Structure formats: structure tokens, C-alpha cells
Amino acid sequence: MASHQMAAGMTSMANMGDMKDMEHMEGMEHSLSKGGKVPCDSITIPESSAPIRKFDLTAARTTLKLDNGKNIEAWTFNDMSPGPELRVTEGDRIVITLYNKDIEDGVTIHWHGITVPCSQDGIAGVTQDAVHPGEQFTYTFIATNPGTYWYHSHQMSSIQVSKGLLGALIVEPKKSSKSDTSMSEATALYQQLDSSMLVNGSTRGLTIPGKTGELIRLRLINSGNETMEFIVYGAPFRVMAMDGHDLHEPGLLKETMIPIGAGQRYDLLIQVPGSGKVVISSPSAVDLPITIGSGSQPQHKEGGQLFSYVDYGNPVPDDPVLQLKPDRHFELKLGQTLFTKSINGKSFHEIPPMIVKEGDHVLITVSNEGGGDHPFHLHGHVFRVLSKNGSTLQGSPVYLDTLLTKEGETYELYLEADNPGLWMIHCHNLKHASMGMSMMLNYEGITTPYRVGTKSGNLPDL
Ligand code: C2O
Ligand code: CU
């Protein structure tokens, strides 16, 4: 597509920050392709006998009629926003063909939280070209880890995600690995669609049937840009998983507020009480409560303490990660300058990539020096949270792909460099990412034939 066409489109909505971004992006065209031998797009999964699950997702402009009667000009997958919930089983080989009907700037799909091979990560200008109207692209990966994930476009992500190009991706555990059949489950995907806040596409909230005594695994997904806090009324509950990764021996919680950063997922386990309903609600989405069961309304209490995973659940015996010595240490300071959101005082391609090689044990210190909450998201990997504000985590090991950081906080993260590629790291307040808070974790020797910039039209986090 003609790049001037897009540039014009952007100028109409551009402020100074946007114009600057585009220059930085152009700069990236060169830095990503230097040196090395293995192109990212040659890194795919090998043939295997894994069961194949096929899906088609068509991106298109759609007028959505919301359940409050309002019409919204949305960008959708299969005429829906959120797009269809993709449910697969651990170990499946997932084959998803993306078609672009008429999203002019092109689209991609990123599988948020899933550790895919580099070529399948869906990053316009890094792992592929944006898929333009009339074109298609097929993604193939193995759903290795059961859990709650989501997908979204990673072309102009701050625009396209808020226009609706997203959906839930649930990887169910293999039947044999969980004998628990008395558990039912539900997904609650919160999104900001232009100016409307929705849960599973509704403006009214969510009702989940539940019989007394039944256990419900509630998969909360925050696909918006702001942190959401959830309060559970009417029953004690447990945090079963964060970002798709089960916690070890999670304890019962009561009157605890669960903060879910942008891009994060929390799975709560709730037992339907004899007395009545359970209501899960968020002060930032008061009109979108989740109601489980029937009977009398639970009492609403104010406040409650904030959930902390620093001492939640139990450690695992002989934790191998605690034995490791890091080979590399990086420090990232998330902050802001006058017109940008920055990492170590720089934005976009000015930020030198973290360079690692396969097999490295990597320690990353992340601190939030201001500019709001920064949910720090890394592609292609899961990292372990080692400490918060100098205190070592005492409870269950915590593995995340998105770390919520609040102003003044410092975290130490550990990751194993086990997935060679070129990986984005960015704030999942996608507005912050579009203002510069975005960088790369690159493996030595990996290159890309694709280019980011206005010339190629690939603008992953504009
Ligand atoms: Cu949800 Cu760069 O990703
Ligand atoms: Cu941020």
C-alpha cells in the first residue's frame, strides 16, 4: 500500500509525539537487520504428530450493535469483538489463517503469552509484513502450556486493539493431567472498545450459572490499557493462575482486591455458596459485574486489602531457578520525558536492545519511575518474578508474561533465553507503547527480512 496514504491518515490524528514516533520507527529499519545468520521467519515449529486444530479469523470493518442499543464502528474478527474464543487442548498444533477483508492499514495477530517460534509472533515489521486487504497469513504453533491467553493485532496495536481486533485464547489442560471434573469455568474478557467498556462484548455484565458447592474457574482477561481492580463479594476464593501459569498451593482469600494490569490474566477459583450469589466487580467497570449463581445479593463491603503475590501460596521444594547464576543482567527504568514514555530515558530505536544468546540465564531489574502504571510485557518468553522492592518472593513461584508495575516499584525478573528470535518488550498500556515505551530482546545471530517504518507500512505499536 502507498505509504503516503497511511502517513496522511495518521497526520489527521497525529500530535507531535506521533510524528516523532514515525521517525524513530524508520530508524529501526536498519538496526534490526544488522549482522547474524538466522532469519526470524525461518524459525518455525517442526513437523509432529500433534493433533491439529484449525481456525479461520477474518478481520473486517463491522458495525456492531451493542446490547445497549448503541451502534459502534468496530474492527472485528469474524464480525465480532471480542473475536471468537479459541479453545484448544494442551499439546495441540494450532493452525490459524488470518484473512484481512478491508482493514486498510493491514493487520497481524499476536498470541499474547504463548511462547511461539519467532516467525509466528505476529509482529508487523519484525516477524512478518502486515497482512493487507485481500491477503492472508497462516500461523502455526503448539499450545504448549495450558492457561488463559488472548490474541490481538500487533499492527498499529494501540489503534487496532481499541477498535476491537482481539479475542480470548484458552488452552485447556489434557484430560489426564486434571482429574477434576466437578469444575466448570467461564471467561470474562474486559475490553475498551472506543469509548465503551465491555465484558465479553456486553455493556451489561455477565451472568454465570452455578449450583451451590460448584467450583468455578473464572478466567479474567484485561485487554484494555488501564489497570483494573476486582473485588469478589459473597464467597472466599483462590487465585489459581496468573498469566496462564498455575500458582502452587494458593490459599483462600477474602475481601481482597485483585489488581489486573493491562494485558494480564488472573484465573480465580470460586465456590458457589449456599447462601446466594457471588458478585465480582471492578470500580473501573461498575456497570459490568460478573454474577455467579442465584439467590440473594451479597453484601457489598468497601475496600479490602490489595492482593499481593509476594507471599501467596507455597514455594515448591528444591526450586531449580533459585540455584541459578545469571549470565547477564539488564536494568530497565520505565519512565517518561516531556513527549514520550521512555525506558532508561530513551524511546523506541534509541533504546539499545537487550542482546542475549541461547541458553543464557538473564536477570532483569525493572523499576517504575513514573508516568503511571506500566504493565511490562515480554514476547516469546515467560519470566519468573524473583523479588519486589527488594523482598524475595516467599510464596508460590510466579511466572508471568506481563508484569504490572506501579510508580516507585522495583522488580527482579529471571528468564531463560530458550527461544531464539527477535522479541518485543513494551508497556501494555498500548498508548504508552505508541509513545515510545517499547524495545527489543534480540538473540545474537537472528535477523529479519522485514522492516518497520512508514515506508514498509509496518508499524507494530503505533
Ligand atoms: Cu499483547 Cu506486544 O503484546
Ligand atoms: Cu506504561
Same domain, 390 and 291: no
User: CA 254, CA 164: separation in Å to the nearest integer?
Assistant: 34
* Pair (210, 275) in one structural domain: yes
CA 108–ligand 2 middle distance (angstroms): 22
In a domain, 13, yes or no: no
Closest ligand, as measured to the CA of 374: 2
Give 225-277 pLDDT, tens digit per residue: 999 999 999 999 999 999 999 999 999 999 899 999 999 999 999 999 987 89
Q: In three state form, how does the secondary structure of 169-217 look?
A: EEEECCHHHCCCCCEEEEEEEEEEECCEEEECCECCCEEECCCCCCEEE
5 assigned to some structural domain: no
Q: Is the CB of 432 under 6 A from ligand 1?
A: no
pLDDT level of residue 178 (50, 70, 90 thresholds):
low
Question: What distances in angstroms separate CA 455 from CA 6, 8, 99, 147, one per listed residue?
Answer: 10, 13, 23, 38
Overall size of the chain counted in residues = 462
Cα four-point dihedral sign 284, 150, 85, 64: positive
Residue nearest ligand 1's atom 3 by CA: 112
Domain count, the chain: 3
Domain boundary among 272, 306, 340: 306
* Domain-ending residue, one of 286, 306, 326: 306
- Within a domain: 3: no
Is 74 a domain residue?
yes
Ligand 1 near 263 CB (within 6 A): yes
Atom from ligand 1 closest to the CA of residue 152: 1
What's the mean pLDDT in 347-367?
A: 96
Q: Does any domain span residue 108?
A: yes
10 C-alpha to ligand 2 centroid (Å)? 22
Residue type, 423: W
**317-328 pLDDT, tens per residue?**
989 888 889 999
pLDDT of residue 34: 47
In ligand 1, the atom with minimum distance to the C-alpha of 113 is: 1
Does residue 424's CB lie within 6 angstroms of at least one atom of ligand 1?
yes
| Cα-based angle 359, 364, 366 (whole degrees, multiple of 5) | 160
Q: What share of the chain in percent tops pLDDT 70?
A: 90
Listed residues 172, 204, 232: the one ending a domain: 172
Query: Is the pLDDT assigned to residue 11 strictly greater than 70?
Result: no
pLDDT of residue 389: 98
| Ligand 1 nearest-atom number relative to CA 426 | 2
Please tell me the number of the ligand nearest to residue 366's CA.
2
H-type helices in 248-293, by residue range? none
Evaluate whether residue 68 is within a structural domain.
Answer: yes
pLDDT tens across 27-52, in order? Answer: 334 344 445 589 999 999 988 899 99
Beta carbon of 341 within 6 Å of any ligand 1 atom:
no
The answer to whether 280 and 290 are in contact (CB under 8 A) is yes
Region 293-305: mean pLDDT is 81
Burial 11-33 (b: 16+ CB within 10 A, else e): eeeeeebeebbbebbbebbeebe
Amino acid at 167: G
The whole domain housing 296 covers: 183-306
- pLDDT at 170 exceeding the cut of 80: yes
Neighbours of 86 (CB within 10 A): 21
Could you read off the pLDDT of 188-216 as tens digits, one per residue?
999 999 889 999 999 999 999 999 999 99
Instruction: Return the minimum-mean-pLDDT range out of 37-41, 401-405, 426-430.
Output: 37-41
Does residue 405 or residue 319 have the better pLDDT? 405
Chain-wide mean pLDDT for the chain?
Answer: 90
Same domain, 125 and 233: no
Q: With respect to residue 345, please indicate whether it lies within any of the assigned structural domains.
A: yes
pTM equals 0.91
Secondary structure (3-state) at 220: strand
